[in-house]
Amino acid sequence: MKNIKDVAREAGVSAGTVSKVIKGYSSISEATREKVLSAVDRLGYIPNSAASTLSSKGTKKIGIYLNINDKFQQIDEINMLYVMGALDRCRELGVENLIISDESLRSVRYEDYRSYFSSLSIDGIIVFGLNKNDEGMLKMLQDKRFKFAVIDACFIDDNISHITVDQQQAQYDVARQVVEPGDRVLYLAGKENSFIADWRQTGIERLQKEMGFDLKIVRCDFSEAKAFVAAEEFVDEYDCVVCASDLMAIGVRQACKRMGKRVRIAGFDGIRLLGYVSSSIITVKQDFYQFGYRAVDEIMALREGNPGREVLLPYEIAHIHYRSVIK
Amino acid sequence: MKNIKDVAREAGVSAGTVSKVIKGYSSISEATREKVLSAVDRLGYIPNSAASTLSSKGTKKIGIYLNINDKFQQIDEINMLYVMGALDRCRELGVENLIISDESLRSVRYEDYRSYFSSLSIDGIIVFGLNKNDEGMLKMLQDKRFKFAVIDACFIDDNISHITVDQQQAQYDVARQVVEPGDRVLYLAGKENSFIADWRQTGIERLQKEMGFDLKIVRCDFSEAKAFVAAEEFVDEYDCVVCASDLMAIGVRQACKRMGKRVRIAGFDGIRLLGYVSSSIITVKQDFYQFGYRAVDEIMALREGNPGREVLLPYEIAHIHYRSVIK
DNA sequence: CTGTTAGCGCGTTCAA
DNA sequence: TTGAACGCGCTAACAG
């Protein structure tokens, strides 16, 4: 409604001065600064963000890229927490942002990603759940014009920071808690083109080398349904099932329940759902909200000219109890 | 990167013409239209949205207002589906949008909401989970300058459409399925300032009048934890617990499990979690994704000058089974 | 049907 | 330390 000129008039200064005050430039006397601020307050002036980004040659927003992978309505707790963390941090820092789903990029050619983001005034992008076959994004990462904070996919460069937990170590740690000497172990692995799936798998393999147990690896693509089926088929022959995700662990658990079997199960992620299904599943508890939150900070750091880096967040090996998840 | 002038040059026309082609104006010959489109394609031109909204006096975005109510990380499946539905529909329609959480409005004074939304180029707002004590938003609804699609809160006006299911009827229907003649019925009601909480409650009250059963109403604020406690305290004296939300139903169910009690339970919402906890809970299944999706359409209709209206979406009385929720 | 012109609201020189 | 002037990229009104 009110624009910068209204404020200028109200404060008895020029529009340029108002702009400088608002952007916090130091070359302004305390007196006029006060005048302007009070005028802003009186008028309830709020800068027009379109004009602002246009005038300052754009590039101020952070894009929050969500790879929903699967179809329809498949966004889950983890993505949600990512997003909330990022949104909250953006708000705290007053950073504008835009959520971009893989869906919304489908209509854009890879060569045009660059202009697409530019046209949206985006200069930094937070990437959740990048896959190895996401060609468009993978190419984008090379474009030094943008800053990236990539979650759970090993890219580091001048313009790319990587935020994750030590997946291998975590998988190793949690498996160590459930596997006993002499066990026959079933490992349900994640998706083919997933960075974290592979990384986690190296964890169980390392443990296997150390302990020398029987290990069968079945790829279940992080799918609860597939894990359910795999459990039905194989669980008789194993003492212990280590899963690369909680959802798969839950699938296994449900299958066992129906079959009246009992095996030790390890999950990975620490989602609330575990508290409802079975607190007997041990898991790697991660703070996904924190991932999103930190990702924004990393983008800001890159903007300031810092080089990309790896941020390893802590995790915890734990059981999720019902009491701890209810609100 | 490339701007409209580049395209104009490439196509051998003026910038104005390019703009018209892109905005799909009809007063353009097929020949130049082709020329322009091919130039756009060759250059990978994507319009700068900031410039566009600035020039056209802004007001083209839809704000998606989320009331997270509770603290930290409390966004759940329902909100998620709302948002996904709205985002998907926006994408299909090519509508720009912005997610606004109640958190992000906290720093804005009520009087300034108007300028805040204006400055963001927002002309339509989808409101999820409005509470009776959300003064700022409530005032905003009066501002004819904006179009609103309100979910689950009874407001209709020239500029406001209301999207919901018939809460009273739904509560009535689901209760009817579990309550048997002569039952002592415990009803766990929702939050004090919630529109739907009250509306739902009238449903059970209507049924009570018809059947004449014993009815005790306890306010549990949609909280699973409070429902758990209420169940521990009262469940001995009742045959049947009707809950105004699934989460409360789950709380009751978990409490009963620990106490070794058995009562009939009805929930409300139809969240996936039910499939994990207990398919014996009957519930009102709503399609939240559809709520968000339709909300966008309603905003568009209002923009076209249609008056606000009430949209009643269908619901279903059903059990949620594990098989139907796993992926 | 197409080109020209004049801003949209703000940030950023450059002088003063 | 402040103000004037220009331009960001695009759209809308007006000519032609």
Let me know: does B297 contact B161? Beta carbons within 8 Å: no
SS (H, E, C) chain A: CCCHHHHHHHHCCCHHHHHHHHCCCCCCCHHHHHHHHHHHHHHCCCCCHHHHHHHCCCCCEEEEEECCCCCCCCCCHHHHHHHHHHHHHHHHHCCCEEEEEHHHHCCCCHHHHHHHHHHCCEEEEEEECCECCCHHHHHHCCCCCCEEEEECCCCCECCEEEEECCHHHHHHHHHHHHCCCCCEEEEEECCCCEHHHHHHHHHHHHHHHHHCCEEEEEECCCCHHHHHHHHHHHHHHCCEEEECCHHHHHHHHHHHHHHCCCCEEECCECCCHHHHHCCCCEEEECCHHHHHHHHHHHHHHHHCCCCCCEEECCCEEEECCHHHHCC
Which nucleotide's C1' is closest to A50 (Cα)? C9
- Comparing alpha-carbon positions, the chain A residue that sits nearest to B96 is A98
Among the partner residues A112, A224, A277, nearest to B46 by beta-carbon distance = A112
Give the pair of three-digit tokens for residue B16. 């104005």
Among the partner residues A109, A116, A326, nearest to B224 by beta-carbon distance = A326
Q: Please tell me which residue lies nearest to nucleotide D8, judged from CA to C1'.
A: A55
Which A positions 62-91 lie with beta carbon below 8 A of chain B? Answer: 70, 72-77, 80-81, 84, 87-88, 91
Which residue is it, tokens 């498996």? A175
Residue among B6, B65, B73 with most chain A CBs within 10 A, to mutate: B73
C-alpha closest to that of B2 among A118, A311, A241, A177: A118
The enclosing H or E element of B261 equals none
CATH superfamily of B167-285: Response regulator (3.40.50.2300)
Alpha-carbon gap: B211 to the closest alpha carbon of chain A (Å): 33
Alpha-carbon gap: A244 to the closest alpha carbon of chain B (Å): 16
CATH superfamily of A1-45: lambda repressor-like DNA-binding domains (1.10.260.40)
Q: Do A48 and B54 touch (CB under 8 A)?
A: yes
Q: Do B87 and A73 touch (CB under 8 A)?
A: no
Which nucleotide's C1' is closest to B20 (Cα)? D11
**Integer distance in angstroms from CA A289 to C1' D11?**
41
- Determine the pLDDT at residue A72: 45
Q: Which nucleotides in chain C lie less than 7 Å from some protein C-beta?
A: 1-5, 7-13
Reduced to 3 DSSP states, what percent helix, strand and coil does chain B have, rounded to the nearest 5?
Answer: 50, 20, 35
Rounded Cα–Cα distance for residues B243 and B222 (Å) = 9
Q: B135 - beta bridge partners? A: none
Q: Do A251 and B326 touch (CB under 8 A)?
A: yes
**Integer distance in angstroms from CA A13 to C1' D4?**
12
As annotated, the residues of chain B forming the CATH 3.40.50.2300 domain(s) are: 56-164+290-313, 167-285
Across A298-313, average pLDDT: 92
Q: Do A273 and B277 touch (CB under 8 A)?
A: no
- Comparing alpha-carbon positions, the chain B residue that sits nearest to A79 is B80
Cβ neighbour number for residue A142 with a 10 Å cutoff: 12
C-alpha angle A154-A273-A76 in degrees, rounded to nearest 5? 50
Cβ neighbour number for residue B13 with a 10 Å cutoff: 18
Under the banding of pLDDT at 50, 70 and 90, the label for residue A232 is: very high
Across A2-7, average pLDDT: 91
Going from the C-alpha of A312 to that of each of A144, A202, A301, B162, the distances in angstroms are: 23, 17, 16, 46
**B120 at the A interface (CB within 8 A)?**
yes
Q: Do B99 and A112 touch (CB under 8 A)?
A: no
Under the banding of pLDDT at 50, 70 and 90, the label for residue A245 is: very high
- Determine the pLDDT at residue B201: 98
Let me know: does B85 contact B289? Beta carbons within 8 Å: yes
B237: Cβ contacts below 8 Å, ≥ 6 apart: B184, B186
For residue A139, pLDDT over 70 is answered with yes
Cβ neighbour number for residue B109 with a 10 Å cutoff: 12
Average pLDDT, chain A: 90
Angle between helices B195-211 and B167-178 (to 10 degrees): 50
**A122 at the B interface (CB within 8 A)?**
no
C-alpha closest to that of B87 among A145, A238, A64: A64
Let me know: does A190 contact A244? Beta carbons within 8 Å: yes
Which nucleotide's C1' is closest to B52 (Cα)? D10
Q: Which nucleotides in chain D lie less than 7 Å from some protein C-beta?
A: 1-5, 7-13
- 3 state DSSP class of B187: strand
- Determine the pLDDT at residue B261: 93
User: Strand B282-285 relative to strand B184-189: parallel, antiparallel, unpaired?
Assistant: unpaired
**A215 at the B interface (CB within 8 A)?**
no
**Regions in chain B scoring below 70 on pLDDT:** 58-59, 68-75
Q: How many residues appear in chain A?
A: 327
Rounded Cα–Cα distance for residues B132 and B193 (Å) = 5
Rounded Cα–Cα distance for residues A128 and A131 (Å) = 9
The enclosing H or E element of B317 equals strand B316-319
Which B positions 298-317 lie with beta carbon below 8 A of chain A? Answer: none
- Determine the pLDDT at residue A164: 96
Across A260-269, average pLDDT: 96
- Determine the pLDDT at residue A106: 79
Q: Do A87 and B101 touch (CB under 8 A)?
A: yes
Tell me: the pLDDT tens digits for A34-81? 999 999 998 888 888 889 888 887 657 899 998 765 544 455 788 888
**Integer distance in angstroms from CA A22 to C1' D12?**
31
**Integer distance in angstroms from CA A41 to C1' C10?**
18
- Determine the pLDDT at residue A23: 85
As annotated, the residues of chain A forming the CATH 1.10.260.40 domain(s) are: 1-45
Q: Cα B50 to the chain's mean position, in Å?
A: 27
- Determine the pLDDT at residue A71: 45
* CATH code of the domain occupying A56-164+290-313: 3.40.50.2300
User: Strand B160-164 relative to strand B316-319: parallel, antiparallel, unpaired?
Assistant: unpaired
- Comparing alpha-carbon positions, the chain A residue that sits nearest to B327 is A225
Alpha-carbon gap: B25 to the closest alpha carbon of chain A (Å): 22
Q: Do A327 and B50 touch (CB under 8 A)?
A: no
Let me know: does B186 contact B233? Beta carbons within 8 Å: no
Which residue is it, tokens 């689950």? B152
Give contacts of A120 with chain B, Cβ < 8 Å. 49
Q: Using CA atoms in the order A245, A246, A252, A254, what is the torsion angle rounded to 10 degrees?
A: -160
Give contacts of A326 with chain B, Cβ < 8 Å. 224-225, 228, 251, 254
- Determine the pLDDT at residue A108: 84
- Determine the pLDDT at residue A308: 94
Cβ neighbour number for residue A319 with a 10 Å cutoff: 17
C-alpha closest to that of B129 among B72, B174, B73, B70: B70
At B134, phi and psi to the nearest 5?
-85, 75
Q: Do B119 and A326 touch (CB under 8 A)?
A: no
Alpha-carbon gap: B210 to the closest alpha carbon of chain A (Å): 34
